[in-house]
Amino acid sequence: MYDTLGKDSIEYILNQTKVKTLVLSADKIQGILDLKAAGKIPHLTHLIYLDTTTDALLGKGRELGLTLLSYTAILEEGRNIKVTFEEPTPETIYTICYTSGTTGFPKGAMLTHRSFVANSDGLTKFDGGTFNFLETDYYISYLPLAHVFERCLMITSMAVRMHYGFYQGDVLKLREDLAVLKPTIMVSVPRLFTRFYDLMQASIQGLTGMKKTICEWGIAAKLDNLTKSAQYTHAFYDRLVFQKFRDILGGRVR
C-alpha cells in the first residue's frame, strides 16, 4: 500500500480484501493498532514487521488479539518448514493492485498471472528484439512497489536473472544511489526525467567558448542521427561530450 494512503483508505482496502496478515515497517504499526482498537479491521490477525519496534507496541498488539512477528523470526522459522504450493493457472489472481485513491476510495485491480507474464514477455520484445535484458545488467528500483509499473519490472528482472538494487528510500538522494550501484538499466517517469534534464541543461548553460560550441555540435549531430536512423550513439561525441552526462546516471546506463 502507498505510504500516502490515509487511515480510511487503509481500512477500506484491508476490509475489502479480508487481509489476515500484513507485512509492514515498524513505524506503521501504531496506525494499524489504532484501527484495530477501534474495531475497524476485524479480519487482520497477524503483523510481520521489517525492523525493530518497542515492547510497548508489541504488548498493545497482543492485548488487541494480534500476533506480531519480526521478519527475521519468520525467516528463521521458515527454514525448517516444507510447504507445497498450489500450482497457479494463467487465470489465478496474482495480486490485487490498488490505485492511489485520487478519485475517492482506491480501486483494486485483480491482476492474473497471465497479465504479468504477458507484460514481462512484452518488455523483452518491445524494440523488435534489438534490445534485450541481460543477466549482466544492473537495474535500480526506486519507483513505488505499490504501483504495478515497478512490480512488472521486478518480475521481469527475476525472469531474466539480472541484478536488482533498491534505492535508500529518498528520491533526493537518488544520484548518490546511482553512483554506488552504477545501473545499466534505468526505468523512470516524467517527473524524474525532467529533474535529470534540468540538471543537464544547467551544466550546458554553464559552458562558455569552444566547450559550449562543441557541446552544441554534439547535441545537433546526435539529434540528427536519431531523426534519420533512430541511432542514439555517436562514436566521437559520446566520448568527448556526453560521458559526463552518463556519469550523472552512474556511468553505465546503456
Among residues 54, 84, 114, the one where a domain terminates is: 84
Domain that holds residue 11: 7-84
Give the pLDDT confidence of 35-53 residue by residue, as tens digits: 999 999 999 999 999 999 9
Give the pLDDT confidence of 215-231 residue by residue, as tens digits: 999 999 999 999 999 88
In a domain, 32, yes or no: yes
The DSSP annotation for the chain comes to --TT--HHHHHHHHHHHT--EEEE-GGGHHHHHHHHHTT--TT--EEEESS---HHHHHHHHHTT-EEEEHHHHHHHHTT----PPPP-TTSEEEEEEP--TTSS--EEEEEHHHHHHHHHHHTTTTTTS----TT-EEEE-S-TTSHHHHHHHHHHHHHT-EEEE--S-GGGHHHHHHHH--SB----HHHHHHHHHHHHHHHHT--HHHHHHHHHHHHHHHHHHHHH-----TTHIIIIIHHHHHHTTS---
Q: Given pLDDT bands bounded at 50, 70 and 90, which one contains residue 128?
A: low
Among residues 65, 84, 103, the one where a domain terminates is: 84
pTM, two decimal places: 0.78
In a domain, 230, yes or no: yes
Count of domains observed in the chain:
2
In a domain, 61, yes or no: yes
In a domain, 240, yes or no: yes
In a domain, 155, yes or no: no
**The domain spanning residue 32 has which CATH number?**
3.40.50.980
